Structure 1
Amino acid sequence: MQLSNKYWHSNGKLLLSGEYLVLKGATALAIPINKGQSLEVNEFSGRGEIYWQATHENGKWFEANLKINELSKIKANSSPEQKKLQQILNCCLELNPEFLDVHKNYNIKTNLEFSHEYGFGSSSTLINNLSKWSNINPYELLAKTFGGSGYDIACADSKKPLLFKLENDKKIIEEVDFYPDFYEGLYFVYLGKKQRSSESIKEFNKNAAYSEREIKRISEISMAICEADNIENFNELIDEHEEIMSKILNMQSVKSLFFNDLPGSSKSLGAWGGDFALISCRLNKTEIKEYLISKGLTTFYTFKELLVF
């Protein structure tokens, strides 16, 4: 007998500025996007069994049959996805022991509104949805599972861009207006290689050298981006941001790697080395499409196409 049907949805995200250094107290600018993830839970009378099905825009990409009493027994031959799912559910139970009922069966479906290869927040949207279901703090669950600053969790329920900062273990979140007059010149381009944020963070913490002055300047740039009143000023800011981060990470900027002939500017979004890049220029959509095809890049979105606000 079906007992209940529940549904939650969380927004995806893009980090426009402050990547990496947001972990060290820099102010970052992030935007929620209109592509996210849903979680639907159907509860039935039963014996503590869970059927989990994960879908995205191209159909089903993962499924698992689990037993509540055996969630802590993670088998060596299970898929990486199932191992991670069991870890997350165990953390939910640790934070709320009454989360699951062994006298119920659960039919669970998640739907990702973008490819799981995109860095739009497949992990953060799952964590936020599960936190709503299990009635726990999403930031605590994130810390126990994937780690990170939490800016992506802040985006999950936001309807506006936001400035995000960690200060003395507190999260300072300020919603801002970021809808520049030159938005038609902003494009988000998929570079074809998803970066695992957790691995990028580990590498950053191990090898990166940075100063308080650089943290302060990145914060200033994040706030100045919100106030940029023309595309030339905006481009100067993201160019400076790229120059600072290129030095800190000891990596080439996305412009030098891909877009050195672009009549405009470009910036890595999130972890460097893959995922999405921001392009800022005066080319129209047809012109930018032709330019990107010449680079072997076929997936891109305009600023307006991803807006949730």
Structure 2
Amino acid sequence: MKKTFYSNGKLLITGEYLVLDGAKALALPTKFGQNLIIEENNNQEIKWKSFDADGSVWFEETILFSEIISNVPFEKESVKNTLITILREAYQMNPNVISNSEGLIVSTQLTFPKKWGLGTSSTLINNIAQWFDIDAFTLLKNSFGGSGYDIACAHNNGPILYHLEQGKPIVEKTNFNPTFTENIFFVYLNQKQNSKNAIASYKEKRNDLEASKKIINQLTQSILNAKDENTFAEALEKHEKEMSSVLQTKTVKESLFPDFDGTIKSLGAWGGDFIMAVSKENPRAYFQSKGYKTILEYGDMIL
């Protein structure tokens, strides 16, 4: 019998990096995500195939059940070894899925291009957690690591406020439906940021963050409560300035778009993936002239 699971992609609007240290973040699930399809097979193995949004296969491997059950550590990182690590942790939490099976055919299908960075890993982890009937946050913590806001987006269909309290995820459903969404755009920066590397770099730079966390928490609330475009944009700019100070890095507007007539906010790991642009005029021509062709309107991106 075929089983199908689905998880939403994500965008982190506020609290990037500092969410790892307890700051409150506003996160939005996207209309894009990933499917996981399970079918029974044989030979005590998983035939795994992962499809990108265009239908091309980006990963294909056969994984033996014995590789999942084993505790032998891996000598090098690879997509296959990362996947086995996740499956090992899932198996430890619920052995029945593997123990009660003769073999499996598994396929994943992204509905967004993998390079966009909307949550290839988080949607996979959440889907595997659904498949194994285990807690997705625990699976993330034991395998891939991270704050977990992306896991919260994966199984929520609306805006959330997210923070860690003594290491435990706190998810609050919230209302975020600006009346000025026609002025909000998402632009892909033509490069996918490695979130693990970005987090490692942040950890090297961070000092005492209590003051910054308080400022970011206040700005998150201001962004959430903004009733007009100007108030919204002003809070975003203050957020960028504060994170620029924390990361000791120029804002993306300073680095790439100093002549842009509007506000630009980094989303998630700075330097890659998507930015959010707020502009009174449609900025498509501006970004295209700079070589950035992937520009999505708010309603096309956000669930």
TM-score class normalised by the smaller sequence? over 0.9
Cα deviation 1:279-307 (Å, max 9, x = unaligned): 011112xxx22101111111111111012
* CA distance in 2: counterparts of 1:206 and 1:74, whole angstroms: 27
Q: Among 43, 46, 50, which residue is 1:47 paired with?
A: 43
State the AA in 2 paired with 1:33.
T
Give the gaps of 5 or more residues in structure 1. Answer: none
* CA distance in 1: counterparts of 2:5 and 2:29, whole angstroms: 16
State the AA in 2 paired with 1:12.
G
The answer to whether the 8 A contact 1:48-1:102 is kept is no
Cα deviation 1:243-276 (Å, max 9, x = unaligned): 0000110111011012211111001100011111
Compute the displacement of 1:213 (Å). 1.6
Compute the displacement of 1:168 (Å). 2.0
- How do 1:1-309 residues align onto structure 2 when only pairs under 5 Å count? 4-44=1-41, 46-58=42-54, 59-71=56-68, 72=70, 80-101=78-99, 103-284=101-282, 288-308=283-303
The answer to whether the 8 A contact 1:92-1:99 is kept is no
Cα deviation 1:198-250 (Å, max 9, x = unaligned): 22111111222243121011011111111111111111101000000001101
The answer to whether the 8 A contact 2:264-2:276 is kept is yes
* CA distance in 1: counterparts of 2:35 and 2:211, whole angstroms: 41
For structure 1, which segment, 5-14 or 188-197, has the greater mean C-alpha deviation from structure 2 after superposition?
A: 188-197
Cα deviation 1:107-166 (Å, max 9, x = unaligned): 101001111111201110000000010111101110112211111111111111011111
The answer to whether the 8 A contact 2:45-2:63 is kept is yes
* CA distance in 1: counterparts of 2:141 and 2:241, whole angstroms: 30
Cα deviation 1:160-191 (Å, max 9, x = unaligned): 10111111233221111111111111011110
The answer to whether the 8 A contact 1:185-1:280 is kept is yes
Q: What secondary structure, in the 3-state scheme, does the structure 2 residue paired with 1:195 have? A: coil
Output the aligned Cα RMSD: 1.6
Task: Tell me how many residue pairs correspond in the alignment.
Answer: 300
The answer to whether the 8 A contact 1:68-1:102 is kept is no
Q: What secondary structure, in the 3-state scheme, does the structure 1 residue paired with 2:140 have? A: helix
Give the gaps of 5 or more residues in structure 2. Answer: none
In the superposition, the TM-score normalised over structure 1's length comes to 0.93
The answer to whether the 8 A contact 1:64-1:82 is kept is yes
Q: What secondary structure, in the 3-state scheme, does the structure 1 residue paired with 2:115 have? A: coil
Q: 1:210 to 1:76 in 2, by over 3 A?
A: closer
Q: 1:68 to 1:158 in 2, by over 3 A?
A: same
* CA distance in 2: counterparts of 1:246 and 1:282, whole angstroms: 25
Compute the displacement of 1:81 (Å). 1.1
The answer to whether the 8 A contact 1:48-1:105 is kept is yes
* CA distance in 1: counterparts of 2:22 and 2:84, whole angstroms: 32
State the percentage of identical aligned residues: 38
The answer to whether the 8 A contact 1:210-1:248 is kept is no
Q: 1:249 to 1:181 in 2, by over 3 A?
A: same
The answer to whether the 8 A contact 1:69-1:102 is kept is no
Q: 1:248 to 1:210 in 2, by over 3 A?
A: farther
Q: What secondary structure, in the 3-state scheme, does the structure 2 residue paired with 1:149 have? A: coil
* CA distance in 1: counterparts of 2:231 and 2:100, whole angstroms: 59
* CA distance in 1: counterparts of 2:66 and 2:196, whole angstroms: 29
Compute the displacement of 1:99 (Å). 2.5
The answer to whether the 8 A contact 2:53-2:114 is kept is no
